[in-house]
Amino acid sequence: MVDGNSAKETGKEGLTRRRFTLGMLIASIAGAFGSLFALLKVLAPEKKGGGYATTILPGDVLVYAQGGSAGSPVTASSMKAGDAVLAYPTGKSSNPANLVQLIKLEEAAFKPPTDISLTDKGFVAYSAICTHLGCTVSWMANRESPAASFTECFCHNSIFNPAEGAKVMGGPAPIPLAQIGVKVMQDGTLAFTSDFKGPIGPQV
């Protein structure tokens, strides 16, 4: 350029001044972002609420989770093969991780990997929280042939086979629903006998 010379003359001082300003600018931007980082920590609190930590203890009695008789114990005599209900351990319905699907099938219907020792008189229970993205699973009852009934999650149509350890038969769910032990008590109600045999809820 034409004025290249004059730029060179004043260049030295101008450059350091410019460098200093630039340094200040970078430092302040870095500082600002640094503090922003702390801010982001505040904005992402560890608020507990969701998450799936079950509080079921062996001996807890199963009660209906919904419908008119929500909260009252499920009785073995009210269910025949091919039926299923959503149930909670009594008094612990505020924790969604405790929601189970109680299913009654023919006793001979169970195949591995179902844990037969956790079933009783055809009753089997699985976590009702879909392992895909956490919707509650539903029961697709087949009135003609109860053995063809299955568990389906209506959110993205994952299908689980209750006779085979809730194995994933289709859809995006990555793993089976976890089985949990149940048994029929003397008074005809049902109680849990174990904890979940596997992870529950979305696998994230």
DSSP string, 11-65: HHHHHHHHHHHHHHHHHHHHHHHHHHHHHHHHHS----SSS------TTPBEEE-
The conformation of residue 129, written as its DSSP 8-state character, comes to B
153: helix, coil or strand?
strand
For another protein, give the closer residue by CB, 163 or 173. Answer: 173
Q: How far is the CB of 174 from another protein (least distance, A)?
A: 5
Q: Is the peptide bond before 199 cis (omega within 30 degrees of 0)?
A: no
Distance (Å, whole) CA 194 – CA 37? 44
Q: How many residues at the interface with another protein, by CB under 8 A?
A: 41
Question: Going residue by residue from 157 to 196, which x/- string records binding to ligand FES, judged by CB under 6 A?
Answer: -x------------xxx-----------------------
String of b and e for 67-88 (b: at least 16 CB within 10 Å)?
A: eeeeeebbebeebeebebbbbb
Q: Which stretch binds ligand FES (CB under 6 A): 104-112, 117-125, 149-157, 193-201?
A: 149-157
Smallest separation, CB 134 to ligand FES (Å): 6
Q: Which is nearer to ligand FES, 172 or 199 (CB)?
A: 172
- Chain positions 131 to 150 lying near another protein, rule: CB under 8 A, are 132-138
Coil vs helix vs strand at 128: coil
Distance of alpha carbon 144 from alpha carbon 200, whole angstroms: 31
Q: Can you tell me which of 1, 2, 108, 204 binds another protein, judged by CB under 8 A? A: 204
Q: What does the binding site for another protein look like in residue numbers (CB under 8 A)?
A: 40, 43-51, 65-66, 86, 88, 93, 96, 99, 128, 132-138, 153-158, 168, 170-175, 202-204
Residues that bind ligand FES (CB under 6 A): 130, 132-135, 153, 155-156, 158, 171-173
